[in-house]
Amino acid sequence: MLNRRSFSDVLPESPKSARKKEEARQAEFVRIGQALKLKTIVRGDAPTSLVTTGLCRKEPWESQPFCSTFPYEIVCADSWGQSLLVATEAAGVMLLDALPPVQVFDKTIVVKQMHVLEPQDLLITRADKGKDARLYVFRLSGLKRGLEERQLVRSKCDSRENKLEKTKGCHLYSINTHHGSELRIVAAIRNKLLLITRKHPRFEGLSAVAPGPDSPVEEFQYIREICLCDPPVVMALVDGPTGENDNMICVAYKHQFDLINESTGDAYRLHHVDANRVNFVAAIDVYEDGEAGLLLCYNYICYYKKVCPFNGSTPMIQSNTSDFHFSWNQMPNAIVCAFPYILAFTTDSIEIRLVVNGNLVYTAVVPELQLSASRSDIYFVSSAPVSSASNCSSRDTSSQSSPQTPTGYEMPVFPSPLGDGETSCKHIFKIPLCNLVGRSIERPLKSPLVNKVLTTPAPAMVPPTPLISATHSLSLSRMEIKEIASRTRKELLGLTEEPSGKSDGGSVKQRKMSKKNTEEEPKARALTSTNSDR
């Protein structure tokens, strides 16, 4: 009766006859309903809308073509603005963007790991092999200036002043993900860990009047050495809640993950792997309300462990009530966490699951897959050609954060990596991080040190640079996490709701909904199967 009165009130001329009044009311009801349906379809929330179904639907993990013909095997890479810095064995290090590739280092420097830290104007690399391996540090501004002035390509001899001498023989290194106030580097030299810090990073603009020396080596300090029983295979730095003698290092070796206290060097057992053979993949640090947790990835398993702050000299490892784990369908070679998704890169597929419960969302078949970079945007290489049906723009050359290569720069002649008669090119694809994490990438990422005050402000002539952390684990309040988890479940079940004004983001706190997920699992799997068939 309430609906009948409300719709009768909107009639412009109410008929006197009861029958005609009912017919007019029903006609007005149909008109308003059609208008609401049209708005829903245009907005993209209706099941029949072309925005959310069919060929027009764009999934957040949809890849964009970045480079269709790259003739070299990529060892490692990292994003530099909208460009990609790529390390190869046959042609050295090259910068890929909208223009033809530009060589930055020649092949005398064999780079195995790299990190591009734009807010700190720093490039960290691990170069060469075996006993000659070292860490090199460069200023991005100096590299960019060399490209603009068309200077000679840097070689190993030109980079002598950029060596961190005490890192000779380094086979692995790791940096902290929240390095707004202090950059920490842990270099593994056989079974020895060397802790290096760089306090008060430089935030000078590229057009500064008096730039510092070309080599930033003098800004790094060697703190201490920590001896382990075996050489580590995987490492991750974990920020403590205060940053004062409570930072930790997660190392993986033998059949175990251990936590190392950076201040004392004491080791504590975090997780033991019950398997004859162990393939360590990654250890990813994630944070929630200033508390640290670790995603331990090995074999087919991804295990979450919550680590409480240090109690005196001993870390409090929470009981099994907060732990959870899930399995992958194929053994991954690399893991990327971009909340609310976690992506596993295997030899021929990308498996996408939800972080909060490990439910499978999508599986993409990609032949000869290799993950290249994932600190910000995700870049991967495949032997599959770029789809001609894709209408996505792969690069945004108007971005001012991209290093601009000179227009008249001549492409150097690289040695051919293939024999006579062989033709094989790699295809590089890009998954923008903002598509996966939504609006949450616009928020500064919370770390345990977020409340600490920086004593060294940036120069006034340079606008403040947002410190986007390297990791893709975001921190929010419990209410926001519950909202995101609820919305994710409804999307999997085909339901719709109005988008909330709150920013997306999250952590891995919500595991108490396992009982409800068990009831909804068949529906979610059916929907996933339908998406795969389509």
DSSP 455-523: SSPPPTTSPPPP---SS------HHHHHHHHHHHHHHHTT---PPPSSPP---S---TTHHHHHHHHHH
For 478, residues 6+ apart whose C-beta sits below 8 A from its C-beta are 289, 509
Rounded-to-integer distance, Cα 104 and Cα 159, Å: 12
Work out the number of other CB atoms within 10 angstroms of the CB of residue 69: 10
DSSP designation for 43? H
Alpha helices in 341-431 (DSSP H): none
Residue 67: partners with Cβ closer than 8 Å, 6 or more residues away:
84, 96, 394, 427, 428
**pLDDT tens per residue across all 534 residues of the chain:** 334 444 445 555 666 677 777 778 778 777 877 777 777 777 666 655 555 555 556 788 999 999 888 889 999 999 999 999 999 999 999 999 866 889 999 999 999 999 999 999 999 999 988 778 999 999 999 999 988 888 888 999 989 999 998 999 999 999 998 766 689 999 999 999 999 999 764 544 444 334 456 789 999 999 999 999 999 999 999 988 777 778 899 999 999 999 999 988 998 899 999 989 999 999 999 887 777 889 999 999 999 988 865 555 555 565 556 678 999 999 999 999 998 899 999 999 999 999 888 899 999 999 999 999 998 899 999 988 755 333 333 333 333 444 544 433 444 444 444 444 444 688 999 999 988 887 444 333 344 444 443 333 333 333 333 333 333 334 445 566 666 666 766 665 655 444 444 444 444 444 444 444 444 554 444 444 444 554
Ordered strands of the 221-227 beta sheet:
172-175, 182-189, 192-199, 221-227
| Cα(507)–Cα(130) distance, integer angstroms | 38
CB 453 within 8 A of CB 430: no
CA–CA distance, 183 with 173 (Å, rounded to integer) = 13
DSSP notation for 147-183: HHTTPPPB-TGGGGGGEEGGGTT--EEEE-S--SSEE
Q: Which residue reads 């090119």 in tokens?
A: 425
Residue pair 212/168 in contact (Cβ under 8 Å)? The answer is: no
Q: DSSP 3-state assignment of 530? A: helix
- Report yes or no: 365 and 382 within 8 Å, Cβ to Cβ: no
- 429's enclosing H/E stretch is strand 426-431
| pTM exceeds 0.75 for this model | no
List the beta bridge partners of residue 403.
none
Q: Are strands 172-175 and 182-189 parallel, antiparallel or unpaired?
A: antiparallel
Instruction: Label residues 500-514 b or e (16+ Cβ within 10 Å = b).
Output: eeebbbbbbbbbeee
> Environment class of residue 255 by beta-carbon count within 10 Å: exposed (0-12), middle (13-18) or buried (19+)?
middle
In this prediction, residue 377 carries a pLDDT of 92
Residue 522: both structure tokens together: 């068949």
| Residue 279 burial by Cβ neighbours in a 10 Å radius (0-12, 13-18, 19+) | middle
Amino acid in position 111: V
For 273-386, strand residue ranges (E) read 280-288, 291-298, 301-311, 314-317, 324-327, 334-338, 341-345, 349-354, 360-365, 370-373, 378-382
In order of 95, 140, 209, 453, the CA distances from 212 in angstroms are: 24, 12, 10, 25
Helix residue ranges, H only, 398-471: 433-437
The answer for residues whose C-beta is within 8 angstroms of residue 88's C-beta and 6 or more apart is 72, 73, 74, 75, 94, 107
- The whole-angstrom separation of Cα 148 and Cα 409 is 9
Cβ density class 284-303: b for 16+ within 10 Å, e for less = bbbbbebbbbbbbbbbbebb
Closest CA to 430 of 54, 68, 57: 68
Report helix, strand or coil for 219.
helix
Chain centroid to CA 332: how far? 16
